[in-house]
Structure 1
Amino acid sequence: MSTRMLSAAVAGLAVLGLTVVAAPAASAAPCTDIDVPVARGTFEPGTLGLIVGDPVYQAVQNQLRPRSLSSYRVNYPADLGQPASVQKGNTDLVNHVTAQAAACPQQRFVLVGYSQGANVVDNSIGISSAGSPVGGPVVATIPAELAPRIAAILLFGNPIRSIGREVTGPYQSRTKDYCAGGDPVCQAGGGNVLAHLSYGADAADAAAFAAGKV
């Protein structure tokens, strides 16, 4: 999948009438039962991400009540023009989970990543996104001793799938990786740019999966 196709998917935000703007970074989360760090897609608007993060977080909240939840917006550029964008997100996500785990010994995590943000999550669990259009080598991984506290991983439009890679290893059974039919970002040869913008429809299913793992 070419960078041109990924750019077209980003441009598709305009087709839906969405304004691409930067949102303020979220502060560190309190000691809730479940923390949900979200790595948004390239130039994706919204607090956690209008297409995926916001609806998925709301759906997870609905599924897990009365347990308490918090969210964290991964602090990274989410920019096609910055070659280290994914690595910055990778570092920030790992730092956040590590700090939260130390501050809140009982807290568990549901990791969410969309598009370039899925690459951020891939790298953070030790699956390299190098070779995908907005990917790069792993620069930090969640410490192995914290792995049991990662309850679930929800990925949408994951670019590594277009190069024949997927989540394997200890996190595989806790991962739900959505790739809509024809999505050129996650499906080699895909030609339906609008498919990459469709993942909000999977929010309830993703939340049910996460609830089954918590």
Structure 2
Amino acid sequence: MHLPLPTTTTALLALLSSTSLALPNPQPQFSFPGGTGGSTRNDLSGVCKPITVIYARGTGESGNVGSVAGPPFFSALDSAFGAGNVAVQGVDYAATAAGFGGDPAGNSKMAGLVGTAVSKCPKTQIVVSGYSQGAMLVHNSASSYSAAGKAAIKAAVLFGDPYNGRAIPGISAGNVKTFCAAGDSVCAGAAIITPAHLSYGGNAGEAAAFVKGKIRL
């Protein structure tokens, strides 16, 4: 059964329905609706925390961490590790429909934030994460992480990943958790967006539990 889309998402569907977004070969083309609303986290500007999450939002989400998957995940991490132990830094990239499939500027910013976290907070344990187009940034930026950055990354968590099943360079498969909901056509390689692609807030607890299994305070 398909649930009705939120009003804001329906509007975005109408706005972007004519946009064709080419993924790098051999991937197909997508017409992709953005997420709804958003929030901003810039915790790297503050004091160092034991855990640092570098997070990239999905296409069309506002702020720098959006609202669909990120904030529920961060709340679950706070519950799992205790308030004050987790810093969240959103990736300030365009997240536009035109960049879906390849955003070199976004990739560079994400890699740069991993480097900043390592240099500013050498003892922090890093989680890289993203939703939809943001998950693509995790894949595409990983080859640019420094050796120190890769060593500091303890987990990667991906929601609605268009590159579902593709390895992340330099990160062990055992440290990667991908959430792809049944009926999410983005993960299946189809160009049809269903409500399943907006469901990943429901995976927040499981995502935090996975991270807790990879990090020791």
Query: How far apart, CA to CA, are the structure 2 residues paired with 1:86 and 1:114?
Result: 14
Selected match of 2:151 from 148, 151, 157: 148
CA distance in 1 between partners of 2:41 and 2:131 (Å): 17
Alignment of 1:48-63 (within 5 A): 48-63=65-80
Distance in 2 of aligned mates of 1:59 and 1:112: 14
TM-score when normalising by structure 2: 0.76
TM-fit CA distance, 1:151: 1.2
Kindly indicate whether the alpha-carbon contact (under 8 Å) linking 2:40 and 2:64 is maintained by their aligned counterparts in 1.
yes
Please report how far the alpha carbon of residue 24 of structure 1 lies from its aligned counterpart in structure 2 after TM superposition.
Answer: 5.7
Shift of the alpha carbon at 1:146? 2.5
User: Secondary structure in 2 aligned to 1:151?
Assistant: strand
Count of aligned residue pairs for this structure pair: 187
| Pick aligned residue for 2:162 from 154, 159, 163 | 159
C-alpha separation in 1, matches of 2:170 and 2:30: 28
Residue 29 of structure 2: aligned partner: 2
CA distance in structure 1 between the partners assigned to 2:191 and 2:182 by the alignment: 8
Instruction: Report the alpha carbon displacement of residue 180 of structure 1 after superposing the two structures with TM.
Output: 0.8
Identity of aligned residues (%): 33
Instruction: Provide the C-alpha distance between the structure 1 equivalents of 2:184 and 2:101, rounded to a whole number of angstroms.
Output: 24
1:103/1:165 Cα in 2 relative to 1: closer, same or farther (>3 Å)?
Answer: closer
AA of the residue aligned to 2:205: A
Q: Distance in 2 between matches of 1:169 and 1:179?
A: 22
- Distance across 2 between alignment mates of 1:67 and 1:93: 23
| 2:44 corresponding residue in structure 1 | 28
After the TM superposition, which of the residue ranges 87-96 and 42-51 deviates more from structure 2? 42-51
Cα pair 1:86 1:116 within 8 Å, conserved: no
1:44 and 2:71 matched? no
**Per-residue deviation, 1:172:** 1.2
Assess if the C-alpha contact under 8 Å between 2:44 and 2:89 holds in 1.
yes
Task: Provide the secondary structure at the position in 2 that maps to 1:154.
Answer: strand
| Alpha-carbon offset, residue 76 of structure 1 | 0.2
SS at match of 1:185: helix
TM-superposition CA deviations, 1:150-195 (whole Å, max 9, x none) = 011100111112xx63446643111101111121111134756111
Q: How does 1:15-164 map to 2 (within 5 A)?
A: 18-19=36-37, 26=42, 28-29=44-45, 30-45=47-62, 48-65=65-82, 68-82=85-99, 86-126=103-143, 141-161=144-164
- Residues 159 and 186 of structure 1 are in contact (CA less than 8 Å); yes or no, is this contact kept in structure 2? yes
Q: Answer whether contact 1:115 1:157 (CA < 8 A) is retained.
A: yes
- Indicate the SS of the match to 2:185: coil
Q: Does 1:212 align with 2:201?
A: no
Structure 2 gap ranges (5+)? 1-27
> How far apart are the structure 2 equivalents of 1:106 and 1:209?
20
Contact map agreement 2:156 2:175 (CA 8 A) in 1 = yes
Quote the residue 1:187 is aligned against: 188
Q: Hey, what's the Cα distance between the residues in 1 that align with 2:148 and 2:64?
A: 30
